[in-house]
Structure 1
């Protein structure tokens, strides 16, 4: 099928990267001070092994944010989302009871938000998205930065399903 809508989003907020880089400096400083200079890092220092594990965890977290992507594709048959590395979802238009573009406001942050009034929210930034209610009553929302373009495709697909 021909893809009619495609969007890839990632975390690009400057303040988020400032926080992540700031957090990343801490274990580097600790390793430098404790392992290279031979001085203890803090009043109650971690073991050298603990410091290395902490550093790996922090850089794993930063790498996760670096590689995390929310990809949305819509064609005449289905909506596909891939929030790498967490979920992959395909929904056929016939399974959808209602789909509309909404301003969802602030749902407690970005990423994957569970148990909101829209069901599960998948977003990376902003406050606009495609709210979907399935025939079985389940709900979810896909955030978008291309609200106008997505709205046109959703209206077209919804109309085609009614014919």
Structure 2
């Protein structure tokens, strides 16, 4: 059985992303209340009531719930690293230390390297999992694939990774 050495759960709390979610959610609630509750058309070319209700359910309720449940989970055991971006990834990805060629904790540039946050692929094919910040675990697998997993605790995860000797 694998021994858990490190766990980290990160939520997407970038102020500008939160602002977009709050603005969109507020707009949908305002439109719903104005048109459905008070019977006043919302906008200069209002959608029909059924269409507005569908939009309200999707963007006034569903989108904020989805955003609130978004999280990146990292688990380092004595044998592997696990990563899962919930709820986008149903199954966690596992990388055995025996499959890893090199691993390092470093500072990176999420916008420049991955064009943003979330589950991304860089121009050179490297996969990135990040929600905020600019620290990550860069992994090069023996099969030639590379990836970066964002972390908010670079010193802590580096100390754990440095203490683990994996099979090469």
**TM-score with structure 1 setting the length:** 0.91
Aligned to 1:10: 11
Aligned to 1:143: 150
What SS is found at the alignment partner of 1:4? strand
Aligned to 1:45: 46
Pair 1:161 & 2:163 matched: no
Range with bigger deviation, 128-137 or 53-62: 53-62
- Partners of 1:39 and 1:61 in 2: how far apart? 25
Structure 2: gaps spanning 5 or more residues: none
Aligned to 1:93: 97
**Following TM superposition, by how much is the alpha carbon of 1:85 offset from its aligned partner in structure 2, in angstroms?**
1.0
**Following TM superposition, by how much is the alpha carbon of 1:130 offset from its aligned partner in structure 2, in angstroms?**
0.4
What SS is found at the alignment partner of 1:23? helix
- Partners of 1:152 and 1:36 in 2: how far apart? 56
Alignment partner of 1:79 out of 72, 78, 81: 81
- Partners of 1:5 and 1:118 in 2: how far apart? 27
**TM-score with structure 2 setting the length:** 0.88
C-alpha RMSD of the superposition: 1.6
**Following TM superposition, by how much is the alpha carbon of 1:151 offset from its aligned partner in structure 2, in angstroms?**
1.1
Q: Is contact 2:97-2:166 (8 Å) kept?
A: no
- Partners of 1:79 and 1:118 in 2: how far apart? 20
**Following TM superposition, by how much is the alpha carbon of 1:15 offset from its aligned partner in structure 2, in angstroms?**
3.3
